[in-house]
Structure 1
């Protein structure tokens, strides 16, 4: 017996536009947050740690929004490995672009650590979605 994804009805254009708009707003929010110059708050070790760890839920949310926009189904999305890999790759490219953008902001720098935290957030969300994906047993 093999587990397969349960088919979902296709998403209407209104639903797709809603998720696409949410994705655009989310991306603008990330760009806005990464545009702030360093104001010296990160010298406090607790604030520095919190700001580094904030990458994980931020990019988990981005992966979720992107997955919803790409899935093309209503309700709990039909999850395929192809969709998960595509979402992860696009999120990784967006994370790299965010780090590159930060390299131009006064007092900010792009770091591999931040990029890896972004990937951890994205990967964790996609793993959660995959584990919770609706499945049925084929005879």
Structure 2
């Protein structure tokens, strides 16, 4: 195995382990991240007096951060898988399918963690993140080839 391929395989394994650990930890439940965001906004924007507006803002920021982390985290997995399988037949499709399958197993694993719930909506967001990352990889690669 070439040195660069070993690097990408190792990076992939580490990133998948990081996602597994984040899924395992109870600190990253929606309720806990909402509390952390509330503390940040309460100090920075003094929303303790306006509970309704503050609650809506905190809920919106919490959802955006959590879904953006799904998009990003699984986009990174898709990119790393593409680097590992770039010399295979249909590397984009293979990378997307494997990322989607990992997203399913991640949500299934999350269903066993106290305080966490599994959501197929999150699997779809993970798949979208993988698609976006692979699309950007394709566009960047094709642009790079045109420059040469």
Q: TM-score, normalised by structure 1?
A: 0.76
Q: Does 1:58 align with 2:73?
A: yes
Give the whole-Å Cα distance in 1 for the aligned partners of 2:25 and 2:16: 15
How many residues align structurally? 118
State which of 88, 96, 113 in structure 1 corresponds to 2:96: 88
Please identify the structure whose Cα radius of gyration is greater. Answer: 2
Over 3 Å counting, the alpha-carbon distance change for 1:81 and 1:110 in structure 2 is: same
- Deviation >3 Å, runs of 4+: none
Taking only aligned residues, the RMSD between alpha carbons, in angstroms, comes to 2.0
Partner of 1:47: 62
Q: Does 1:16 align with 2:5?
A: yes
Q: TM-score, normalised by structure 2?
A: 0.72
Aligned 8 A contact 1:42 1:48 in 2? no
Aligned 8 A contact 2:30 2:62 in 1? no
Cα offsets for 1:20-60 (capped at 9, x unmatched): 00000000000011111237224541224311221001111
Give the whole-Å Cα distance in 2 for the aligned partners of 1:39 and 1:130: 33
**What are the ranges of 5 or more consecutive residues in structure 2 without an aligned counterpart?**
35-57
Give the whole-Å Cα distance in 2 for the aligned partners of 1:21 and 1:117: 25
Give the whole-Å Cα distance in 1 for the aligned partners of 2:116 and 2:64: 15
TM superposition shift of 1:113: 1.2
Q: Point out the structure with the larger helix share.
A: 2
**Could you say which structure has the greater relative contact order, defined with CA pairs below 8 angstroms and 6 or more residues apart?**
1
